[in-house]
């Protein structure tokens, strides 16, 4: 009896000490998301598609199992991207899904609408997590049902900004762009930096969904491609047409290369042309930072996307990978507890420290840790972080992906199809793919 009491006192002391120690660790105040101990340890399986992520997440899981859920075991498996979705689908069909797995925004709809995913909202409520702490683009695409329940915890974020060649700006006698620059400033710079005789283009910003034209549509205040709730195609809306026309003009003036010149609809190829000095300004994701630091041989910097002159908006398309749980898991409480930890400041620290992948947790300390992981540099990495706040998630999904990711791009920026005509045919196709009855 006495022994038990002494043990209890010891435990309380340890708890008290660790509570006192916490503020010292989290220097920038309270953690944004606080992990909780699990109620009952058990076994979970988890799938991720990336080896490097598996290492980071594995370290994070070890901490969870050691400090918050002693006795829990997680079988973490890597299913490479090339087969990830096929395997997930066949396993879902066989009723044999992993308990916890990574999800991508364009795929979420398919799994959510087939009732495969666990609703995490009750757990967010139980744990007292305010789901609006995450930037809108990170979580909105993972909401489902009438009440907008959040089914996923975002792992990371990717945003878009403009990489520009400082040497080319110097040579043209232009000032470097700064946050708050507008479409007009951008167009003027693209014109001034273009040198047709030497095959040098001022810019390349329209390619593909995430890095491309949807950012410009979002800046007009229009939701790109399809409305939230997937009820309607928005490409024929005024804002979409304005953005696409603006971009098509720049292309037709010769300030931006065609898809055929770039060789593909992939912004990676546009980035390669930027790195080889053939394009002065390129829209690129935060995931390009490691490549840029390593391979770009000239002086460069990053600036946020130019703002629409009237709305004043600069909205980046953001994609966040999510952690989701299977609706058929035998351990929903445990799965949710693990996800909570992985999304917490403590769990996300591993991503911030590893560099490369930006942690979704908005804690300023974590974001700074991520920026610092690139070492000392003058590059304005903060531009990517700033873009997360009022960001636009991925609205496109499987069936319409190619139509809006590449087909409309080639029509407008290679085959010179008039914008009105291209959006009409694309919308016509999209409408056939939208679900008839809404969630």
Partner 1 sequence: MASSRLNFLGPTPLSRRRALWGMALIAPNTLGLLFFFGIPVLIAFWTSFQQWNALKPPVYIGLENFERLVDDQMFHTALTNTLKLLGLTVPLEIVLAMGVAVLLNQPLAGRSLLRTAYFLPVVTSTVAASIVWTGAFQQRYGILSSLLEPVGLGDYKWLVDPGLVLIPIAAVTVWQRLGFDMVIFLAGLQSIPGVLYEAATIDGANRWQRFRHVTLPMLSPTTFLVMVLAVINSFQIFDQVYVMTLRTVPGGVGGSATTLAYYLYRRAFTDSEFGYASAIALVLFVIILSVTVVQLAGQRMWVYYEAEKG
Contact status: 104 vs partner 1 (CB under 8 A) = no
By the rule CB under 8 A, 114 interacts with partner 1? yes
Q: Is 116 one of the binding residues for partner 1 (CB under 8 A)?
A: yes
The residue range among 237-245, 295-303, 376-384, 394-402 that interacts with partner 1, by the rule CB under 8 A, is 394-402
For partner 1, which is the closer residue by CB, 12 or 93?
Answer: 93
Nearer to partner 1, 114 or 126 (CB): 114
Q: Which is nearer to partner 1, 103 or 289 (CB)?
A: 103
Q: Judged by CB, which is closer to partner 1: 85, or 127?
A: 85
- The residues in 67-86 that bind partner 1, with binding defined as CB under 8 A, are 86
Least Å distance, CB 405 to partner 1, is 9
By CB under 8 A, tell whether 399 contacts partner 1: yes
Cβ 109 to partner 1 shortest distance, Å:
12
Instruction: Evaluate whether 312 touches 22 at the Cβ level (below 8 Å).
Output: no
414 binds partner 1 (CB under 8 A): yes
Is there binding between residue 195 and partner 1 (CB under 8 A)?
no
* Under rule CB under 8 A, residue 424 binds partner 1: no
- Shortest Å distance, C-beta 252 to partner 1: 15
Integer Rg of the chain from CA: 23
Distances (CA, A) of 409 to 49, 378, 413, 414: 29, 34, 6, 8
Interacting stretch for partner 1, rule CB under 8 A, among 52-60, 129-137, 209-217, 397-405?
A: 397-405
Residue 93 in the binding site for partner 1 (CB under 8 A): yes
Considering only 415, 420, 424, 435, the residue that binds partner 1 (CB under 8 A) is 415
Q: Of the two residues 75 and 428, which places its CB atom closer to partner 1 in the complex?
A: 428
Contact present, 134 and 362 (Cβ < 8 Å): yes
CB of 265 to partner 1, least distance (A): 6
Which position among 249, 260, 276, 377 is part of the footprint of partner 1 (CB under 8 A)? Answer: 260
283 backbone dihedrals φ, ψ, rounded to 5°: -80, 125
Nearest one of 157, 137, 190, 57 to 359, comparing CA atoms = 157
Note whether 302 and 381 are within 8 A (CB): yes
Interaction of residue 431 with partner 1, rule CB under 8 A = no
For partner 1, the binding residue among 406, 412, 419, 430 (CB under 8 A) is: 406
Asked if 411 touches partner 1 (CB under 8 A), the answer is yes
Closest to partner 1 by CB, 56 vs 400, is 400
Please tell me whether residue 263 binds partner 1 under the rule CB under 8 A: yes
Q: Per-residue string for binding with partner 1, 130-169, x by CB under 8 A?
A: ----------------------------------------
Give the bridge partners for 307, in sequence order.
Answer: 182
Binding piece for partner 1, criterion CB under 8 A, among 141-149, 224-232, 261-269, 385-393: 261-269
Looking at 7-15, 43-51, 170-178, 253-261, which segment touches partner 1 (CB under 8 A)? 253-261
Instruction: Spell out the SS3 assignment of the chain.
Output: CHHHHHHHHHHHHHHHHHHHHHHHHCCCCCCCCCCCCCCCCCEEEEEECCHHHHHHHHHHHHHHHHHHCCCCEEEEEECCHHHHHHHHHHHHHCCCCCCEEEECHHHHHHHHHCCCECCCHHHHHHHCCCHHHCCHHHHHHHEECCCCEECCEECEEECEEEEEEHHHHHHCCCCCCCCCCEHHHHHHHHHHHCEHHHCEEEEECCCCCCCCCHHHHHHCCCCCCECCCCCCECCCCHHHHHHHHHHHHHHHCCCCCCHHHHCCCCHHHHHHHHHCCCEEEEEEEHHHHHHHHHHCCCCEEEECCCECCCCCCCCCECECCEEEEECCCCCHHHHHHHHHHHHCHHHHHHHHHHCCCEECCCCHHHHHHHHHCCCCCCCCCHHHHHCCCCCECCCCCHHHHHHHHHHHHHHHHCCCCCHHHHHHHHHHHHHHHCCCCCC
Assess 296 for contact with partner 1 (CB under 8 A): no
395 scored as a contact of partner 1 (CB under 8 A):
no
One of 34, 63, 89, 104 touching partner 1 (CB under 8 A): 89
The only residue of 258, 272, 299, 327 in contact with partner 1, by rule CB under 8 A: 258
Choose which of 259, 339, 381, 404 interacts with partner 1 (CB under 8 A): 259
Measure the CA–CA gap between 136 and 393, rounded to whole angstroms: 7
Distance CA 319, CA 154 (A): 9
Least distance from C-beta 69 to partner 1, angstroms?
A: 31
Q: Which residues bind partner 1 (CB under 8 A)?
A: 86, 89-90, 92-93, 110-111, 114, 116, 258-261, 263-266, 269, 398-399, 401-402, 406-407, 410-411, 414-415, 425
């Amino acid at each position: 009896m006495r022994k038990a009491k002494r043990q209890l006192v010891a435990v309380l002391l340890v708890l008290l000490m660790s509570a006192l120690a916490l503020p010292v660790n989290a220097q920038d105040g309270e953690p944004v998301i606080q992990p909780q101990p699990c109620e009952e340890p058990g076994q979970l399986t988890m799938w991720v598609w990336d080896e490097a992520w598996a290492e980071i997440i594995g370290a994070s899981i070890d901490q969870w199992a050691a400090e918050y859920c002693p006795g829990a075991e997680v079988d973490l498996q890597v299913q490479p991207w090339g087969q990830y979705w096929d395997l997930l689908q066949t396993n879902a069909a066989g009723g044999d899904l992993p308990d916890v797995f990574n999800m991508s925004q364009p795929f979420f709809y398919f799994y959510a609408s087939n009732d495969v995913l666990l609703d995490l909202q009750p757990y967010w409520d139980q744990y007292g997590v305010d789901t609006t702490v995450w930037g809108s683009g990170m979580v909105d695409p993972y909401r489902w049902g009438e009440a907008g329940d959040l089914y996923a915890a975002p792992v990371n974020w990717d945003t878009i900004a403009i990489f520009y060649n400082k040497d080319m700006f110097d040579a043209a006698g232009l000032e470097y762009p700064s946050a708050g620059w507008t479409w007009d400033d951008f167009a003027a710079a693209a014109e001034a930096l273009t040198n047709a005789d030497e095959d040098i283009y001022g810019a390349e910003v329209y390619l593909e969904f995430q890095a491309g034209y949807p950012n410009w549509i979002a800046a007009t205040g229009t939701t790109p491609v399809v409305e939230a709730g997937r009820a309607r195609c928005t490409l024929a809306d005024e804002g979409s047409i304005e953005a696409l026309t603006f971009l098509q003009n720049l292309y037709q003036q010769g300030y931006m290369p065609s898809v055929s010149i770039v060789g593909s609809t992939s912004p990676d190829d546009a980035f390669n042309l930027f790195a080889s000095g053939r394009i002065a300004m390129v829209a690129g994701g935060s995931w390009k930072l490691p490549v840029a630091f390593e391979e770009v041989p000239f002086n460069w910097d990053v600036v946020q996307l130019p703002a629409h002159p009237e709305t004043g908006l600069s909205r980046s398309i953001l994609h966040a990978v999510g952690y989701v749980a299977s609706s058929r898991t035998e351990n929903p409480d445990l799965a949710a507890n693990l996800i909570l930890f992985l999304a917490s400041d403590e769990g996300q620290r591993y991503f911030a420290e590893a560099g490369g992948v930006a942690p979704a947790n908005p804690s300023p300390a974590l974001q700074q840790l991520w920026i610092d992981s690139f070492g000392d540099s003058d590059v304005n990495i903060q531009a990517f972080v700033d873009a997360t706040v009022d960001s636009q998630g991925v609205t496109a999904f499987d069936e319409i992906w190619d139509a809006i990711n590449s087909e409309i791009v080639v029509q407008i920026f290679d085959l010179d199809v008039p914008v009105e005509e291209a959006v009409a045919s694309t919308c016509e196709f999209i409408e056939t793919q939208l679900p008839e009855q809404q969630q």
